[in-house]
Structure 1
Amino acid sequence: MSGLRYVYAVCRPFGTPLPAQLTGVAGVPPKQLVHGDLVAVVGQVPAEDFAEGPLRAHLEDLDWLGATARAHQNVIDALTVVTSPLPLRLATVFRDDSGVRSMLEEREETFLRTLDRLDGRVEWGVKVYSEPTEDAGKAEAAEGSGARPASPPGRAAGSGRDYLRQRRNQRKESEEKWERAEEFSRRLHESLSGYAEDTRIHAPQNSALSRAPGRNILNAAYLVPRTESEAFVELVDRTKDDAPGLRVELTGPWAAYSFSGEDA
């Protein structure tokens, strides 16, 4: 192989071949580089894109970054079907095979320990959102602008006391809704944790960045044995009907990014 070596993941040796049509970053099919008890799944990438200088510039290009991340994820997803990979950071690049082998030797003990912990397990993600309501959206917009709600047609504007009472009632309803949502999320997390060997609570997603409607209350990852995954998914599906005004989203199964000890 010529060019630089892009490393997707580290695995135990696995016998099941990856799909013949699978391509990764730069449109190149991934290959296995076996070194002792470990396998690095690698691809060839051009130095003009992945050497230190060009790569730094590319990481500021959101279109390039998105395409590279999707190609990276395609390989990780294919690996997750046949083994339990330890995914590495996006754009982990070495000069040649020798550099990859040196990395495997230096981190062998950590890799083997982590792979033992991840073997036969996958990551599931669960998010809970408080669904936005039309009235709440209008109230928030009015409060943010400093404007008072308009009076109904044909009715004189209420007194300042009426306005304050209305705002107190709105805040109380919002607080009660939030408390119910937090309690639901807490109980759901406790129930799901019963199927998981490990969990991670991530920071709530910013709706302006994620573009997901509603307010994110729970953003959790669960390390679940494959043998328990069906029951885990069924529990999430049953719970969706018990959450009026809330939206429960399930993603996965993924490689165990949140539990790999590697940077995202």
Structure 2
Amino acid sequence: MFEVIKPSVSWAQAVCQTVRASDFTDEAWQARLSDQRELERYARAHHDVVSALAARCPTVPLPMATLYHGAQRARDALAEETDRFHAALKRIAHHAEWGVKVYASPGPWNDGDQPPARQVTSADRSRPAPGAGLAYLNRGRGAQERRERSQHEALRTAEAVDAEVRGLVTASRRLQVHPQPPGERRVQVLNATCLVAEHRAEELALLTSG
């Protein structure tokens, strides 16, 4: 059950949920943090509430599992941070938060990275062909150079996208790129979050869809 808490000032309200204190002691919360499924459930629930509120009015989310011992303590916390919350709400009014991510697609497999297939005889196993070692090293060097060139081009594209996005948004922040999950061939090269004014949203959508 969620409760709307009004501090002494009239410009802001806090949406809180009442929970049992015994379920959110330091020990209990640390146990939840070690459970990936449980942590994901809480994170998604927190995100859903913040998103629902942000769709209706300027919203400043507090970190997940911000706890106050009673409604009055929550009111006091709001009152203590009046100036900071007021400034944040004023700044994000008529704005939306966007996530901008750029991925590098895997390059096509180059047949030159591997030696051509051929029939191997017993003589080949006992005596390598002349120059075989040098050819192997050259192939490896060429593959490494292609990987480095591809990575450099992907990073250059990410920087160009970031520069164009920053020209449209009110504020932006570069975040740590996400690691490559199992089975995913694409590599994330840009992970950014942006504060976008309502009247620039269409421009950003056109830019990021191109």
Range into which the TM-score falls when normalised by the shorter chain = 0.7 to 0.9
CA contact (8 A) 1:182 1:217 kept: yes
TM-score normalised by length of structure 2: 0.84
**Are 2:175 and 1:202 equivalent residues in the alignment?**
yes
Once the two structures are superposed, residues 39-89 of structure 1 have per-residue CA deviations (whole angstroms, 9 ceiling, x without a partner) of 111111122312333223222222221111111111011011101211111
Equivalent-residue separation in structure 1 for 2:26 and 2:135 (angstroms) = 64
1:174 equivalent in alignment to 2:147? yes
Is 2:21 the partner of 1:47? yes
Structure 1 counterpart of 2:209: 237
Matched AA of 2:138: R
What is the one-letter code of the residue matched to 1:185? A
Deviation at 1:198, TM superposition (A): 0.9
Alpha-carbon RMSD: 2.2
Match of 1:153 among 118, 123, 134: 118
> Hey, what does 1:16 align to over in structure 2?
none
1:50-61 superposed matches below 5 A: 50-61=24-35
Count residues in correspondence: 198
Q: Which stretches in structure 1 are left out of the alignment for 5+ residues? A: 1-27, 140-148, 239-264
Judging by fraction of residues, say which structure has more strand.
1
TM-score (norm 1): 0.68
Larger radius of gyration: 2
User: Any runs of at least 4 consecutive aligned residues in structure 1 with deviations exceeding 3 A, and if so which?
Assistant: 133-136, 155-158
Equivalent AA in structure 2 for residue 60 of structure 1 = S
- Mark the runs of 5 or more structure 2 residues left unpaired by the alignment: none
Rounded Cα–Cα distance in structure 1 between residues aligned with 2:172 and 2:185: 25
How does 1:244-263 map onto structure 2 within 5 Å? none
The reply to whether residue 126 of structure 1 matches residue 100 of structure 2 is: yes
Aligned to 1:224: 196
Identity %: 26
Is this contact kept in 2: 1:49–1:58, CA < 8 A?
no
Distance 1:120 1:63 in 2: 35
Higher relative contact order (CA 8 A, sep 6+): 1
Aligned to 1:32: 4
- Distance apart, 1:120 and its partner CA: 1.4
